Amino acid sequence: MNHPFQSRIGFEGNLEEISRQVCFDYGLGSFVSSKVADSGYEDLNYCLETAKGKYFVKVFNENRTENECYRLINIINKARLAGVKTPGLLENHSGFLDSFTLQGALIRLLVLEFVQGKTFFDLHCFPNASETKFLARQAALINSINYRPSLIYDEWALENFPAEFEKKKKFLAKKDLALIKAVLEEYESINPKKLPHAFIHADMHVGNILRGKGIWVIDFAVANYSPRIYELAVLAMGGLQKKNIRLALEEYQKHISLSEKELEAFPILTKAASAMYLLLTNYHKKALHSRTKENEYWLDKSRQALLVETNH
């Protein structure tokens, strides 16, 4: 039986067919097995095992353009060049991007180094204090990259909070609607567009932070040029224990000084990140009928975070 995430790539055949083509194109030896990662909302990601070892394969959503694929390649390469600890790309005979047609479906994909370990989402825990400091330094490295990629629209991104709220508020129950509306009013009062901008990962949370031989930051698919403080707001909301948030801010500022306005906006933006996740997980559950563990996790976590803030 095909994995439900295969609908994202418009391919109804056996994933082994894609894997065998990948093995041939990248010279990875004979196919052994493949296992889809039950996480993420856009692309199809899976672990490929061959006679030569294990690899991570990202098959792009069928709606992504070729330019978006090359955009991600550039971002990953620039991040690694800057010293960010993220898996590297493998090259085939024509470059980093592999593109071919199977059963009438256009398949575009990347193959990356496989990192032995688990995300903090799969580990059911958060980074400890020393790991938190490392992540703050990684965030500073990312935000120091002098790169302004073409804008990619991400429905989860903080800058799209007002627009996404208008589009998706009809899927909210009254209690969730009230929680999110209150945060939106605060968000709009700070005018985030006037805050300092930088290149940001934009999605540093427990699902994209991996503990293996050290800590790794993965999945730059929605990286953008945005208000710099968004990076730390998303990390604080979805990647850190509450007691370690101040530690992350202090460590980050050893490398990048945050403005007074950024520091003032930070707690509001952290709440806004929770509000965005509550909005979007409701939408994915009610409109798109998502029942994944990941969606349920973020739905519950974001709701609880806002309830705690409301009761303070």
17: confidence class by pLDDT, cuts 50, 70, 90: very high
Residue 1 has pLDDT above 70, yes or no: no
Mean pLDDT, rounded, for 232-246: 97
Amino acid making up residue 84? V
Confidence at residue 310, expressed as pLDDT on a 0 to 100 scale: 78
Q: Are strands 44-50 and 224-227 parallel, antiparallel or unpaired?
A: unpaired
Per CATH, which fold does 119-311 belong to? Aminoglycoside 3'-phosphotransferase; Chain: A, domain 2 (3.90.1200)
* Listed residue (224, 219, 236, 199) closest to 42, CA to CA: 219
Mean pLDDT, rounded, for 20-28: 97
Q: Enumerate long-range contacts of 95-102, CB under 8 Å, 24 or more apart.
A: 97/66, 97/69, 97/70, 97/73, 98/21, 98/22, 98/25, 98/26, 99/66, 100/21, 100/25, 102/11, 102/13, 102/17, 102/18, 102/21
Residue 2 has pLDDT above 80, yes or no: no
CATH number of 4-114: 3.30.200.20
Q: How far apart are CA 30 and CA 180, in angstroms?
A: 51
Which two structure tokens, joined as six digits, stand for 80?
Answer: 């690694």
Residue that has been written with the tokens 């050893």 in this structure: 254
Residue 312 has pLDDT above 80, yes or no: no
199: confidence class by pLDDT, cuts 50, 70, 90: very high
Domain ranges of the chain: 4-114, 119-311
* Residues present in the chain in total: 312
Q: What is the pLDDT of residues 120-159, one digit of tens each?
A: 999 999 999 999 999 999 999 999 999 999 999 999 999 9
* pLDDT above 90: percentage of residues in the chain: 92
Per-residue burial over 58-92, b if 16 or more Cβ lie within 10 Å, else e, is bbbbbebeeebbebbeebbebbeebebbbbebbee
